[in-house]
Structure 1
Amino acid sequence: MNTIPEIDNDWMEEIQKASNDDLTLTKLIKKIREGWPKYLHHLEDDLKAYHKFKNELRTENGLILKGNQIVIPTKLRRNMIRKIHINRNRIEATIKLAKESLFWPGMNSQIKDIVQNCEICCKFADSQRKAPMQSHEIPIYPFKYVSLDVCYGYINQKSKRFW
């Protein structure tokens, strides 16, 4: 059974090649295979960010995985964020999508920076404000209201719009 998330072969090869060219990731592969030092201060500075995830990291097919997430080499990170943000989702949605299959230390803050500075998102930000919360009267008894998305129902034999 293949445990690597669904990524097309071209991207997989590009990630493998970039991982082999990334000095930090080559050192990380060595630590995963040969073992981590007993003390954090014995670890190279560029690997310290990975130390707290050491028990979750493994290598497979030339890639480093953290659970089901692929560790992305430094040179591909910006491009990966752009690919994930192609639908112009908000910050939280972009981070959630990235966490499904990608990982690197500091990923959340990098995504936040790129999405906040996205030219297209900034241009249309005012038109995509969240709708204000609409409250309803407090029910007198349990299950007086049933929460659904847009739909119609019948209460006391009268058609009523719920939403």
Structure 2
Amino acid sequence: MSTGLLFAALLSAGAADAKDATLRPWPAGQPTPALQLTGLDGQPWDVTSLRGKVVVVNFWASWCGPCVDELPVLKGLAGRDGVAVVGVNYKEPLDTIERFTKDHPLGYPVLRDRTGDAFKRWTPGVMPTTILVDRTGRARWRTVGEIPPDDTKLRAAIDALLAEPQHRTHNQK
């Protein structure tokens, strides 16, 4: 099945099983925003450093129950070849994030969105929000709300992005 047909199948699956996240294409005509934040170690970080991988960008906060509930799904995705997961914490103090990640080891980098500006540019204002970025750095899919443990649509979209030739969308943003 071609990538285009797989995406069409993902979108037209009718009533999604309750176990699947609601996956929507990145808004047409909306460019992929920059994602340049600071890691928990204080070092600058830029999503463009992950070109060549499918990037799962997850906006979360420790006080958000659904964000915490979906952590095992994200940890599982972080272990896949060709996939990078990045957690973007929404406006929490460093000590709060450090305590949380000590109690809940994530296994992927956490970035600090101290002002909430990245959250405003990347999400519709709902937490958690997860965005799939293709290997060329272009946002392609977004799911709003908790990713269920037995979700299949998000994993299928990641598989389809991994199957795309890297040069296909090289000059698109």
TM-score interval, normalised by the smaller of the two chains: under 0.3
Relative contact order, higher structure (CA 8 A, sep 6+):
2
Q: TM-score normalised to the size of structure 2?
A: 0.25
Q: TM-score normalised to the size of structure 1?
A: 0.26
